[in-house]
Amino acid sequence: MMTIELIVLGVAVGALSGFFGIGGGTVSVPLLMILGFGIKEAIAISVMQMVFGSLMAAWMHHKKKTYVISDIKYFGFGGLVGAMLGAVLVKVLDEALLEWSFLAIVAFTLGRFVMSSPEPTRPEIINRPLYVAIGSFIGLFSGMLGVGGAILMTPILVSFMGFDLKKASAIGLFFVIFTSASAFVTLGLLGMLNWQAGLIMAFSSLLGIGIGIYFVHKIQLKHYKQVLVAFYSIIFALTAYKIIVG
């Protein structure tokens, strides 16, 4: 068990999670694969870390009044169902298909960030049934790929739903609570959790969450977009390298 590597990775993932509004799976899954874990084991470890990290981050954002929970919780209700189905698919789908699906999701997110404006270009759309539908769709990919869903939630909210970039990132991290909890329970029932590695990463990630959230409230919106684009470009390159080179 590579304890030191997992602790360092957990702290780093926590900081990135708080800053970028992601569950952490976009970072931890490819890096865990590089450390020698298979994609399915990496997904399970990532899900466990996201449960802890997203709860801490949501509490901190609530204290800072980044968003109001009354409407956005409906994204989470849809995510619960979608993530459960996605976690079941992890058990039956081929590893190569999961890897290429993960790469495609990162590519989509990167493309939307490059083309979208960080400032809202339309009024926020408030539609609870639509929120549930979006949450279900994103939750499916979340449970299947070991990502919290923010990687898809944030660009969708910014590009199509009228949310500004920072608020969308915070909502995406709130959404992770529902999808990661659902996937965590399902993967546990399927006997796919690596408890030791998952708990080491989970507790370590709490140290970085506060740092990430502190800095996201300090950075200017246009600079935040630039950093996001750079971040997802790196994740895309790392994942592509692992899949193609091995």
Q: pLDDT value at position 99?
A: 76
SS3 193: coil
How many structural domains comprise the chain?
1
CB 194 within 8 A of CB 92: no
Domain coverage including residue 57? 3-245
At residue 11 the predicted structure's pLDDT band, cuts being 50, 70 and 90, is very high
pLDDT tens, residue by residue, 180-221: 888 888 888 888 888 999 899 999 999 898 888 888 888 888
Residue 10 host element (H or E): helix 3-20
Instruction: Please give the mean pLDDT across all residues of the chain.
Output: 84
Note the pLDDT of residue 67. 76
Q: Using one digit for the tens of pLDDT, what is the confidence trace for 30-58?
A: 889 888 888 888 888 988 898 888 888 88
Give, in order, the Cα–Cα distances in Å from 158 to each of 6, 38, 117, 229.
33, 33, 8, 14
- Tell me the C-alpha distance between 89 and 83, whole Å: 10
Kindly report, residue by residue over 113-129, the tens digit of the pLDDT. 777 776 777 888 989 99
Three-state secondary structure call for residue 45: helix
pLDDT bucket at 1, cuts 50 / 70 / 90? low
Give, in degrees to the nearest 5, the angle at Cα 197 between 185 and 19: 80
At 74, the pLDDT band (50, 70, 90 cuts) reads very high
3-state SS of 100-168 is: HHHHHHHHHHHHHHHHCCCCCCCCCCCCHHHHHHHHHHHHHHHHHHCCCCHHHHHHHHHHHCCCCHHHH
Which single residue is written with the structure tokens 């890897």? 99
pLDDT band at 147 (very low <50, low <70, confident <90, very high): low
For the entire predicted model, the pTM comes to: 0.74
Which one has a higher pLDDT value, 155 or 131?
131
